[in-house]
């Protein structure tokens, strides 16, 4: 049975990183205000627990072993997670201040975030929020690379040790036409009838297009719209549909009094928005994420 005293402790992670960064046991010991023998003992306990040698020791100094280099990456992640945990536990609501950046797709940027931000800023005047609109691929990349603090995604983030996400709201993607479009008067509307019509569609990287095509594939629905335009924004789609240029698809949040929903359930797609942030996010980012969670009544 393992000796409980040999179990890895967080202080050993801290000690290991300090030695690796200083390049010397003695310099690390001085920085940590420990004796060198005491520091060496802690690293020996850590290596015993991992069953690996982490440092090459020689007269010329120390170097990380191959396993030490691997462990360094994990140790750094653990340190960052612990730092974020400490900040989050210390944070208070009155600290919801500073600048926080958000990336979201067209639907959330145009129809969800404005009301949400207005509500937050009213309650927390020291907070400023900047928003970037991006497609489904861009939102994930911006968050992953640290360009933004929060991201509204249209699908859960793949298993990732650096990212946390949770669902916030559901949406429907619906087929729409101008309120004066003659197809509204057609009875017993079939998919074959729709394939004869012009469609104002989205570009390849669009979250709405991806959601629609994934939904149709899941239903084994063979539908080939006659696409005359591939646009980037919901506003462009709505504008073209309002002018009678074709049939389009939009979020249910974006309906206007100049367009009508086509009653074709098989073409309707449902999706769920997720709010995501990096696990080492600043305390004010974590607070805003929780505030959004409460506004959406997510448990």
Q: Specify whether 157 is located in the same domain as 32.
A: no
Confidence at 58, pLDDT banded by 50, 70, 90: confident
Q: Specify whether 163 is located in the same domain as 282.
A: yes
Residue 111: domain span: 96-170+273-295
Q: Specify whether 119 is located in the same domain as 180.
A: no
Q: Specify whether 108 is located in the same domain as 140.
A: yes
Give the pLDDT score at 6.
Answer: 53
| Structural domains in the chain (count) | 3
Q: Specify whether 116 is located in the same domain as 182.
A: no
In CATH, what number is assigned to the domain containing residue 51?
A: 1.10.10.10
Give the pLDDT score at 156.
Answer: 67
**Average of pLDDT values for 227-250?**
93
Confidence at 4, pLDDT banded by 50, 70, 90: very low
- Domain's final residue, options 69, 90, 111: 90
Q: pLDDT tens digits for 113-153?
A: 999 999 999 989 999 999 999 877 788 889 988 899 999 98
In CATH, what number is assigned to the domain containing residue 145?
A: 3.40.190.10
Q: Specify whether 56 is located in the same domain as 201.
A: no
Name residues whose C-beta falls within 8 Å of residue 287's C-beta, 6 or more positions apart in sequence.
91, 93, 95, 96
- Domain's final residue, options 90, 112, 144: 90
**Average of pLDDT values for 232-258?**
91
Q: Specify whether 263 is located in the same domain as 207.
A: yes
Lowest mean pLDDT among 53-67, 149-163, 195-209, 246-260: 149-163
Sheet strands (E) in the chain: 55-58, 61-64, 98-104, 127-133, 150-153, 163-178, 198-202, 226-231, 248-251, 259-261, 269-278
């Amino acid at each position: 049975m393992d000796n409980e005293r040999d179990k890895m402790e967080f202080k050993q992670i801290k000690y290991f990183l300090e030695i690796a960064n200083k390049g010397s046991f003695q310099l690390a010991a001085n920085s940590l205000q420990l004796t060198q023998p005491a520091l060496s003992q802690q690293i020996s306990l850590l290596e015993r627990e991992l069953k690996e040698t982490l440092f090459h020791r020689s007269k010329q100094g120390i170097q990380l072993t191959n396993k030490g280099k691997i462990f360094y990456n994990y140790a750094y992640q653990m340190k960052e997670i612990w730092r974020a945990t400490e900040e989050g536990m210390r944070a208070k609501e009155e600290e919801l201040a500073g600048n926080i950046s958000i990336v979201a797709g067209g639907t959330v940027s145009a129809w969800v975030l404005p009301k949400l931000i207005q509500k937050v800023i009213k309650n927390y005047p020291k907070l400023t929020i900047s928003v970037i609109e991006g497609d489904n691929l861009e939102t994930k990349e911006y968050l992953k690379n640290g360009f933004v603090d929060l991201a509204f995604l249209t699908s859960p983030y793949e298993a990732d040790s650096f990212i946390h996400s949770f669902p916030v709201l559901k949406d429907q993607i619906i087929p729409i036409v101008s309120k004066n479009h003659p197809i509204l008067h057609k009875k017993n509307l079939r998919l074959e009838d729709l394939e004869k019509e012009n469609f104002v569609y989205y570009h390849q990287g669009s979250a709405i297009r991806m959601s629609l095509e994934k939904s149709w594939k899941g239903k084994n629905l063979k539908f080939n719209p006659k696409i005359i335009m591939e646009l980037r924004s919901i506003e462009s789609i709505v504008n073209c549909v309002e002018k009678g240029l074709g049939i389009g698809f939009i979020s249910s949040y974006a309906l206007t009094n100049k367009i009508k929903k086509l009653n074709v359930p098989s073409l309707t797609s449902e999706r769920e928005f997720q709010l995501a942030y990096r696990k080492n996010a600043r305390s004010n980012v974590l607070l805003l994420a929780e505030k959004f969670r409460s506004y959406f009544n997510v448990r």
